[in-house]
Structure 1
Amino acid sequence: MTTTTTPTLAGVMAELASLEDPGIREVNQRHGDDHAVNLTKLRAVAKRVKKNHDFALQLWGTSDSAARLLALLICRPREFTPAQLDAMLREARTRKVHDWLVGYVVMKGPHSEELRVAWLDDADPVVAAAGWALTADRVVKRPEGLDLPGLLDVIEARMASAHERLQWEMNTCLAQIGIENADLRGRALDIGERLGVLRDYPTPPNCTSPFAPEWIGEMVRRKEG
């Protein structure tokens, strides 16, 4: 007979501390993150702890990035209120925590559209970046009702001078509009080429460049096979 041990905050925090690797921290710091735990090992901890929303809230409350990443893996997205998610986003200043919060929790919960609209023009560019990430996701999955030409107008006017994080998500939205909409592809390609955002972004071999004209071209070629 096996017994299940209820995780404790002190125990899990100690385990996360034992998994820290200075080399991982050094690499992550170059990308705007501050945690030092291998993400495969972090996911193994999450698998063992299992879904536990109350415990996720405790982990989030520590303000530790590795603990917050774990919290995002074990929480139940539908149990958050819009106000909770808004507060969490404004606290989530490191890139990985921000991205996982948006991609693993907000996108999977019932409040994604409400928050997309609320965040899209927020004065905080990191919060606005979340709104654009949700918009890019909707362009691909549920474009009905979106003003795609209007989004291109905003991208054309603001992307070149936007904060780095906001610029990245606006560029993603630009690329997805071009990939998914043949009638707007020419304009999306033109905007990307003229603005030149991420044209020189270092891209590993065999990976697709985030430069919108190259990204659009590659994905359209794959779709048309």
Structure 2
Amino acid sequence: MPDSTPHSAQLDDVLRELAALENPKFRVVNERNGDDHGVNLTQLRAVAKRLKKQQELAIELWETGDTAARLLATLVCRPRSFTPAQIDTMIREIRSPKLLDWFIVNVVKPGKHGEQFRERWADDDGDLVGRAGWTLHGDKVVKAPDDVDVDALLDTIEREMKSAPENKQWAMNSCLAFIGINHPDRRARAVGIGEDLEVLIDYPASPGCTSPYAPAWIAEMVGRQTATA
């Protein structure tokens, strides 16, 4: 909930708007996924589009501690205006998986400090901080494979993924799949690690959706690549 710090008039107006968008049905669904807000994200994006970029407002929104306000903050901030200390502090305050993902996509990646935190966050024991680091590892594997030690990542995944906390495990598993999909010379090892660890092997996938179980995910995506080659 918003804190007791004096707010600007604009912040008060925005918080009232977010409160009016709160929908109990959305909150029930979101809370199943660990996200404590009930605002429709399409409506939230519309608010951000109207507000445009406002760094001071973004900081005020973040400081309320409210998840919906913080989601909005990631959309209206100027990512390159944050210092490394601010980025590291902010990510350690996050308690919502959706907010973490938006923070990575809208703040960390467009900013200028993410690379220095990639390995530090991945090594962190915290569930969401660890997820942040492994999400950045996965992005690097796909977009800049020459800048990452793929074999070292596979070593860590093989050693630690089975016992990692849920959110961090999910990101490590995604990184494993990305390695198998994008690195043919490491594909057999990636599949073998997935088969040995069996992480997410029983995860229920909806009809028509790809299983998150890494060996199945790798096989599906490589098959698609082959079919369109």
Query: What is the TM-score with the length of structure 2 in the denominator?
Result: 0.93
Task: Give per-residue Cα distances to partners, 1:146-191, cap 9 Å, x unaligned.
Answer: 1111111110111011100110010011000001000000110111
Matched residue count:
220
Matched letter for residue 197 of structure 1: V
Runs of 4+ with >4 A deviation = none
TM alignment of 1:137-216, pairs within 5 A: 137-216=139-218
Matched letter for residue 209 of structure 1: S
Distance 1:186 1:118 in 2: 28
**What is the CA-CA distance between 1:222 and the residue it aligns to?**
1.8
Which residue in the other structure is 1:101 paired with? 103
Which residue in the other structure is 1:67 paired with? 69
CA RMSD, Structure 1 to Structure 2 (Å): 1.3
Distance 1:206 1:104 in 2: 29
**What is the CA-CA distance between 1:7 and the residue it aligns to?**
7.5
Distance 2:43 2:206 in 1: 25
Distance 1:165 1:120 in 2: 12
C-alpha contact (below 8 Å) 2:97/2:128 kept by paired residues? no
Query: What is the TM-score with the length of structure 1 in the denominator?
Result: 0.94
Matched letter for residue 146 of structure 2: E
TM alignment of 1:28-67, pairs within 5 A: 28-67=30-69
Which residue in the other structure is 1:222 paired with? 224
Structure 1: stretches of 5+ with no match in the other structure: 1-5
Distance 1:171 1:123 in 2: 16
**What is the CA-CA distance between 1:81 and the residue it aligns to?**
1.1
Structure 2: stretches of 5+ with no match in the other structure: 1-7
**Aligned partner of residue 204 in structure 1, secondary structure:** coil
Task: Give per-residue Cα distances to partners, 1:63-104, cap 9 Å, x unaligned.
Answer: 000000000011111111111011110001111111111122
